[in-house]
Structure 1
């Protein structure tokens, strides 16, 4: 049963579809608004150090991608409307608790509530899009969904920058709580989907068995780990970039806005790039993406070699700002080559006849990427770009004077750009591993008589 699927080639969808997309925009604004400030919040408000903040933020980001495998089964059982009501209740309370409580225990509980709430949202929204469309217009339905994701992400990060600067990072979660509360009201008033009583919900046990099967396949698991290197670098938009910019340029700079360059480039380039690579073997398109991603880190590191503001369009631009934007733009362009072909390539690594099961877990690469990327970033920042609050008073004063243009760079920050060199190495290793993987799997397929198109 579907929610009155519209006629072919129509952009008309039932109310449940549009309501679901409206609350998706709110949820993404809430999530990205807090996520990009989370490490800074954990440092300044909760009192963690760089390494501790990296571990906690990494676990948070990783679990956000793990839990939907299980909450998807639960949402089928309790119904989509009840799932979204529960989700936004959890999100509103979770984000609100981060604003009210500032010690590790309550903050950890709040983050767990956000993970649980967020894990219900994606399967319900994507499920609503599927039920509200048919084969003729499903691509349009999901294009609207992804547009809402990007608009929400862009909006959330844009709004929280002035909140952090003018009011303090401890106020950022209140914005996210408000966005979640607005979504809850919308669901209560307008979201009445037709539930699919004919579908048999997948059990948690089935989900676990499927995950064990997929992760136990060395070939498929290797692909997940290799591509995790790509996403670990992308994840630095939230892991290391915000604190790096604030420590190296100053409190009034807006890394939240720099991060918006990524979805902007994707929106501007993805159609053209998808058209370009439509006839390419998947491995070639992915190789371009994996080759570009270490270059993005090298571009970010280049600000260390520029010692004065750059003149761009009649404006003076800080070297950190300029090279961050360049590096982030390269990341977005690289994503345009990876995303259209990843699932196609992943399907070729699955055993024949089991492609559906394996593709269901193909995005586990983000789980590993977020966990590794945040933890690694924590150790790198502590070593090369430390939190000024962790320095002796004289070094703190020297750092403040340097940012104000009244002194030399403190020795503790002389090698801050090594953070990006380290991630460039991660990207280079991932690229080399991708090339070796593609060659070995193509050779193995040829020996078995399988036509290897990837």
Structure 2
């Protein structure tokens, strides 16, 4: 079967793997870097700034592919690939030098535009180089490449940042994009296509937008996309909020000690400062998808599309909720494993269900709308990961509240580490004792109520949607 795929398909799959390597090598640890103390090489931002950077820029990343896809069709895929990789590579390298909120936001937005340019191109290449008999397994291989890259990126970033500091993760992303530029230039062969009558570019972009508007006039589609916003908002907590929650509250010292004692060769990779690094808990998700997506997909094929999405959403909600309820690392692992099973059942099924409700001849039109709930879910994630986390779960904020309650004044302009060291001295507690006291006093895990409610609402609303659609049919 694999022999049925041509060289161009494999080049596209490799480019996808590398692009995800660069992106997730940065994105999985980005929330940690943005709020890390400046004397550790982090930027020392607050959680609202962190969430705004990650949520708003990611929303743009998923909103622009239908528009930039028009540009790619006009100038050709080869040139589009090179331009997108150069934009991303330059953006990632510049991020290594950015130290202010405005600079980081602007440069990350530039890199996201490059990513948004790449998405429709690589999907188009795979679609062009598969047919009816190979498209299912072709996109399955392609999806696996996404997760192989999503696993390798953080797996490489973790030891690199320990050895060389935070800046190296952005340089790694730039180097990976430079490799992609060379592969696109020398190995990707542009297919010869018949010349079309060319319209002005702005006219084509306007038509692309109007096509999306036309598709959204179908109430079945629009309601479904709105309901999926809840799923993506819940889904995003794995990358936006959980790494910070782990670093703030989850005590993995016993697990770290066991690894260093029994598997010392892994100790330097998986652990730091007596704790298991947060990104390795998150990376369980990609690991599970790489090895179990085929098995989950087998069971999903025995369900209707909506049933699979509902069950997947419920399972994913249960999993991500578990990771926030307890400060025990085993619940973080178990919760992430459960979450990944739900993701495997629901995430790939949305496109298939949209295809099911698509009128004949409007396939491309309807599929162009699938990114919209992803963009909206990223945008709304700011509320949980930024606004709520700051007020309910940020250890730095809660410690400040406790010190103010006790009328203990702290000097201005301290780094976060200096602040915690001085607070430890003034309170007469170790850092571990402060963490336990704040956990018991302020209940930072209550964030799970909101995350769970969003997921449950998404599942229930999909169930109601399914029942109503069945009655109408």
1:176 CA displacement:
1.0
Deviations 1:13-34 (A, max 9, x none): 4433322222222111111111
Per-residue CA deviations over 1:150-197 (Å, capped at 9, x if unaligned) read 111100011112233444334321211111112112222322322423
Please give the residue correspondences for 1:39-188 in structure 2 after superposition, counting only pairs within 5 Å: 39-44=31-36, 45-188=42-185
Shift of 1:354: 4.2
Closer/same/farther in 2, CA of residues 351 and 145 from structure 1, 3 Å limit: closer
Question: What TM-score, normalized by structure 1, do the two folds share?
Answer: 0.84
Q: Sort the Cα spacing of 1:383 and 1:163 in 2 relative to 1 into closer, same or farther, 3 A.
A: farther
Distance 1:359 1:126, change over 3 A: closer
1:411 equivalenced with 2:438 (yes/no) = yes
CA distance 1:363–1:95, shift in 2 (3 Å): same
> Over residues 322-361 of structure 1, what are the superposed CA-to-partner deviations in whole Å (9 max), with x where a residue is unaligned?
1122111111111232245423433455567645422321
Check whether the contact 1:160–1:256 (CA below 8 A) recurs between aligned residues: no
Match of 2:29 in 1: 37
User: Distance in 2 between the 1:21 and 1:402 partners?
Assistant: 53
Q: What's 1:17 paired with?
A: 9
Stretches of structure 2 lacking an aligned partner (at least 5 in a row): 37-41, 252-272, 401-409, 411-417
CA 1:387–1:210 in structure 2 vs 1: closer, same or farther (change >3 Å)?
Answer: farther
Q: Distance in 1 between matches of 2:399 and 2:322?
A: 28
Deviation per CA, 1:96-141, whole angstroms, max 9, x where unpaired?
1100121233322311221121112222222222333333323333
Q: Structure 2 residue aligned with 1:265, among 279, 288, 291?
A: 288
Please list, as runs of the form range in 1=range in 2, the aligned pairs for 1:287-436 lying within 5 A after superposition. 287-304=310-327, 319=328, 321-339=329-347, 341-347=349-355, 349=357, 354=362, 356-386=364-394, 388=396, 391-392=399-400, 396-397=420-421, 405=432, 409-411=436-438, 414-436=442-464
Residue matched to 1:307: none
The equivalent residue for 1:210 is 211
Please tell me whether the aligned partners of residues 249 and 435 of structure 2 are also in contact (alpha carbons under 8 angstroms). Answer: no
| Alpha carbons of structure 1 residues 137 and 381: separation in structure 2 relative to 1, 3 Å | same
Aligned residues: 422
For the residues of structure 2 that align with 1:34 and 1:226, how far apart are their CA atoms?
29
Listed one character per residue, the Cα deviations across residues 222-275 of structure 1 (whole Å, up to 9, x for unaligned) are: 211212222222211211011111111476432222222222323333333333
Q: Distance in 2 between matches of 1:385 and 1:399?
A: 19
Structure 2 residue 278 is matched with structure 1 residue 255: yes
CA RMSD of aligned residues (A): 2.8
Q: Distance in 2 between matches of 1:176 and 1:399?
A: 38
Paired with 1:96 and 1:403, the residues of 2 have a C-alpha distance of 38
SS at match of 1:211: helix
SS at structure 1 position matched to 2:133? coil
Corresponding residue number in structure 2 for 1:27: 19
The CA deviation at 1:407 is: 5.3
d(CA) in 2 for partners of 1:291 and 1:228? 15
Question: How far does residue 39 in structure 1 lie from its aligned partner after superposition?
Answer: 2.5
Whether the 8 Å CA contact 2:398–2:438 is kept in 1: the answer is no
